[in-house]
Amino acid sequence: MKKTTTTTVVSHKTQVVSHQATVISHQAIVANPKSKIVNHKSKIAIRKPSPVRPFSHSLFFFLVLITLLTPASAQTAYITNENDSSVSVINVATNTVTATINVGAEPSGVSVSPDGSKVYVANGFSYRVDIINTATNTVIDTITVGNNPIGISLSPDGSRLYVAIGSDSALSVINTANNTILSTIKVGAEPYGVAVSSDGSKIYVANYNYDNESSVTVINSVTNTVSATITVGAGPIGIAVSRDGNKVYVANTGTNTVSVINSATNTVSATITVGTWPYGISISPDGSKVYVTNWDDNTVSVINTVTNTVSSTITVGNGPSGICVTPDGTKIYVANEGDNTVNVVSTATNTVSDTIEVGSDPVAFGNFISTYSSGIAPQGMVAAGIDIFPNPASEVIKVIGNQCSVNGVEVFNLLGERVYQSLVNSHQSIVTSHSSSGVSPTTNVPMTNAPMTNSPITINVKDFPNGVYMVKVKTEKGMEVSKFVKE
């Protein structure tokens, strides 16, 4: 329990309860809950196979083969520990802490760059953002911001960093190329969580403001101006946007609910009752589930996004705060502030499969899981923009853009022969050609000038021979390459 103190700084753990700014920790046991503040279907065209250009004639496939034969880098989780001013680095493959990085005072918000090369950490009591080089696990730069930075989020292309400045009721917009503040935007009182739409056009800020009108501020990222303010439940903290950009989910601590916002109308379309004092929030890669940590009853609520109902409740450690789903959707990592652990939850069984000891008061508020442990995608192969799940797979895989839209997918075997192709047609359905025999389809449909989709593209791989396959995806960001294993 932390002692009561008098200060003008409002930590993300504190709630101002008088005009004299008496601050009470959210971990204190008090009667008044307000005294706590933390934070296509289309016809399938089957065509006869025909040969393609030999693998040896293509530099592209040569690079792909090197990439496919190189062991995949393990995903990495970066856990901010508030009480000891550090970040615990977890190897997601082994669930072990591989490094501990010293950062500023009371780190809470965290965001990993799209290419995995950097991690941005908001330090509430240092009034700064630290930038970590993931290849060396060292702080390489700091950015001075306003009073009490909390929530933090990057644009899909990584060029802009958005930081909620809790005590200044503002959002700082930072140019990540030179680490300078481009703009400071006034938002609601006590801004906490920040989320960016998949196309980067909108920023959503959850304004805690427990005693007055709690809200979500919508910002146009082109003009850096407020375009709408939406009233939600009391004390909103965690916030997340669906991949298709149609819905925004907000965890409201004061009403024990999640508000579902229709992004087209900027109105609340549903309100879902969850556990006590919901804090962090994360959406599965396919958009079918939303996971919410409930700080006061030590649980995670699993929400079915079709029915907007809680389908399962998972018991975790003490004081669960930050939460993040792995890119393949198979696991959830939950930071438990009360017992200094991170729980690993299997999404298949909704049970805790592992527990990892980390630093003191882990919060990990934000997107804290990286795709590449080294921080660098293979040269010429940018895979951070797409997700393939499950991987390995035996029957089907789903391919979806990671904060970007997709208009076509091709799958190649290690000989460079195309075994599958799909293209989004003008009606947003998927036109496919497919050969399970290991040779490419007859028709080579150019993956250019076609519509984009935010929906997962499902590929039946049941008849594929076991082995490693290269997946080439055309997204709005360009051509991206990854791999999957058929077993």
Tell me what pLDDT residue 244 has.
Answer: 86
Q: Which two tokens stand for residue 337?
A: 């502030």
- Please, which pLDDT band fits residue 198 given cuts at 50, 70 and 90? confident
- Please, which pLDDT band fits residue 436 given cuts at 50, 70 and 90? very low
Q: Which two tokens stand for residue 338?
A: 């009360």
Angle at 347 between CA 372 and CA 235, to 5 degrees: 90
Please check whether the two domains, 55-69+382-486 and 76-370, share a CATH topology.
no
What stretch of H or E contains 60?
helix 59-69
CATH 2.60.40.3080 fits 55-69+382-486, yes or no: yes
**Percent of the chain at pLDDT above 70?**
73
Q: Which two tokens stand for residue 349?
A: 């069984």
Q: Name which of 329, 358, 326, 366 is nearest 342 in CA terms.
A: 358
Q: Name which of 95, 181, 177 is nearest 143 in CA terms.
A: 181
Q: Which of 205-219, 302-316, 365-379 is least confident?
A: 365-379
Tell me what pLDDT residue 453 has.
Answer: 63
Q: Name which of 348, 312, 351 is nearest 334 in CA terms.
A: 351
Q: How far is CA 253 from the centre of its chain?
A: 21
Residue 199 has pLDDT above 50, yes or no: yes
- Please, which pLDDT band fits residue 424 given cuts at 50, 70 and 90? low
* Distance, CA of 234 to CA of 115 (rounded, Å): 36
Torsion on CA atoms 125, 126, 131, 132, rounded to nearest 10: -70
Residue 479 has pLDDT above 90, yes or no: no
SS percent in the chain: helix, strand, coil, step 5? 5, 50, 45
Residues 6+ apart with CB under 8 A from 286: 329, 389, 398, 400, 456
Helix (H, G, I), strand (E, B) or coil at 34: helix
* Distance, CA of 76 to CA of 95 (rounded, Å): 9
Most trustworthy range by pLDDT among 24-28, 47-51, 240-244, 260-264: 260-264
DSSP secondary structure, 128-161, as one string: EEEEEETTTTEEEEEEE-SSSEEEEEE-TTSSEE
- Please, which pLDDT band fits residue 13 given cuts at 50, 70 and 90? very low
Residue 418 has pLDDT above 50, yes or no: yes
Domain ranges of the chain: 5-35, 55-69+382-486, 76-370
Mean pLDDT of the residues in the chain:
80
- Please, which pLDDT band fits residue 192 given cuts at 50, 70 and 90? very high
Q: What is the mean pLDDT of residues 430-436?
A: 48
* Distance, CA of 21 to CA of 14 (rounded, Å): 10
Q: What is the CATH number of domain 76-370?
A: 2.130.10.10
* Upstream peptide bond of 278 is cis (omega within 30 degrees of 0): no
Q: Which residue has the tokens 């809470």?
A: 108
Q: Evaluate whether 154 touches 113 at the Cβ level (below 8 Å).
A: yes
Residue 480 has pLDDT above 90, yes or no: no
Tell me what pLDDT residue 452 has.
Answer: 60
Angle at 255 between CA 249 and CA 258, to 5 degrees: 15
Q: pTM of this prediction? A: 0.70
- Please, which pLDDT band fits residue 403 given cuts at 50, 70 and 90? low
Q: Evaluate whether 24 touches 4 at the Cβ level (below 8 Å).
A: yes
Residue 218 has pLDDT above 50, yes or no: yes
Residue 7 has pLDDT above 60, yes or no: no
Residue 333 has pLDDT above 90, yes or no: yes
Let me know how long the chain is. 487
Q: Name which of 367, 349, 419, 328 is nearest 78 in CA terms.
A: 367
Instruction: Give the pLDDT confidence of 256-312 residue by residue, as tens digits.
Output: 999 999 999 999 999 999 999 999 999 998 899 999 999 999 999 999 999 999 999
Residue 56 has pLDDT above 70, yes or no: no
Helices (H) and strands (E) counted in the chain, each on its own, are 1, 40
- Please, which pLDDT band fits residue 371 given cuts at 50, 70 and 90? low
Tell me what pLDDT residue 485 has.
Answer: 81
DSSP secondary structure, 163-196, as one string: EEEGGGTEEEEEETTTTEEEEEEE-SSSEEEEEE
Tell me what pLDDT residue 415 has.
Answer: 63
Tell me what pLDDT residue 99 has.
Answer: 97
Q: Name which of 413, 421, 416 is nearest 443 in CA terms.
A: 421
* Distance, CA of 176 to CA of 395 (rounded, Å): 41
